[in-house]
Amino acid sequence: MHPDSDLSEWLIWATRGRSWGFRFLLKGGLADPLLVYERSFEGYEGELTTCHRTAGNVALRFLDPLRRRDASGRLIPHEFVVFGELADEIESVEDAMRLVWPLVADAYAEVWDAERPPSVADLRLTADTNPSGDAPRSPGSDDERVDPC
């Protein structure tokens, strides 16, 4: 991964906020990421956490590391489809917490409790300008299961 690469080109990220519903925050450079997303998570719909490879990509799901909840009290999940060199480095949800979450954590902290969903411009993401100050919880804590890719 090149340090100044545009995250929106190699990462699909779907999540929800406190008051805005589940949506794609990053689309992996695709006009419509839905088909890639659905294929990547096919068969894993009910899993709280997952990490598995599909067609050279990695599909990841984990609960918000800071245990943030939406307005209905549900824990917020984060789902990613990772492409390229970074996908090659991910072998588990734990790897994702170490390698992927820090790339988006600060941006999410800024937008998760907004009244309206953020745009890509609102996220202001690049691989080198979003080091996270969030202290993630271990993906194996509480009721989460750590899955290898």
Could you read off the pLDDT of 102-121 as tens digits, one per residue? 999 999 999 999 988 888 88
Domain range for 108: 7-123
* Residues present in the chain in total: 149
Residue 2 located in a structural domain: no
Residue 20 located in a structural domain: yes
Overall domain count for the chain: 1
Residue 135 located in a structural domain: no
Instruction: Report the first-to-last Cα separation within the chain, whole angstroms.
Output: 19
Residue 110 located in a structural domain: yes
Could you read off the pLDDT of 49-106 as tens digits, one per residue? 999 998 889 999 999 999 999 999 999 999 999 999 999 999 999 999 999 999 999 9
Of 79, 93, 95, nearest to 42 by C-alpha is 79
Full-model pTM: 0.82
